[in-house]
Amino acid sequence: MRTVIKNNVKSVLRKILAENSGSEQIAMGSALGMFVGLLPIMGIQTIVVLPLAIFFRVNKIASVLFIWVTNVFTFIFIYSFNYWVGIIFLKHFFPASSFLKMHQFQKFLLDINLQTALRYGTRLFLPLLTGSFLVAFVGAVLTYFSVVIVFRIFRHEIGRFREQ
């Protein structure tokens, strides 16, 4: 099992490095993927990130890889955190009663439907979108610098890995 995972990681790394991208393009692609991955657009993330990666000329594979931070197992935690951040930020501009309670939001996430979304409207989407953009921005910046640091620390190993 450990060997299978190790081989899969090596395979993905080879694909990322084979795209003839420098460390800057890989770091920017990773940051772009993290940004899009933290937005509440699960299901269309790939459709959004690929044109952006092509437009900004960043590593496409790294972009697509990092959108998977939000998946079936993590979305409720990530979107709940984003919603909470949005409420914290927006409570300075709106009364707290204008937002859904956290348990109402999580119940909505588990049973998403158009009727409920329309009923809650801005009470639901304003804090979610605000928090998502704030968290996505911070996540993208942290991802960019983390990938740059990893490339600097392991630049000799990465060079040997590219030659294989």
Whole-structure pTM value: 0.82
Comparing 8-12, 36-40, 78-82, which segment has the lowest mean pLDDT?
Answer: 8-12
Question: Residue 95 gets which letter from DSSP?
Answer: -
Q: How far apart are CA 51 and CA 110, in angstroms?
A: 30
- What pLDDT does residue 93 have? 82
- What pLDDT does residue 6 have? 62
Confidence of residue 75 (pLDDT cuts 50, 70, 90): very high
- Count of the separate structural domains present in the chain: 1
Parent domain of 119? 1-164
Q: How far apart are CA 93 and CA 87, in angstroms?
A: 10
Confidence of residue 147 (pLDDT cuts 50, 70, 90): very high
Comparing 41-55, 125-139, 148-162, which segment has the lowest mean pLDDT?
Answer: 148-162
Mean pLDDT computed over 47-67: 95
The label of the residue with tokens 């158009």 reads: 114
- What pLDDT does residue 159 have? 66
- What pLDDT does residue 153 have? 81
Annotate 62-75 with DSSP letters as a single string.
HHHHHHTTS-TTTH
Q: How far apart are CA 102 and CA 133, in angstroms?
A: 19
Mean pLDDT computed over 118-142: 93
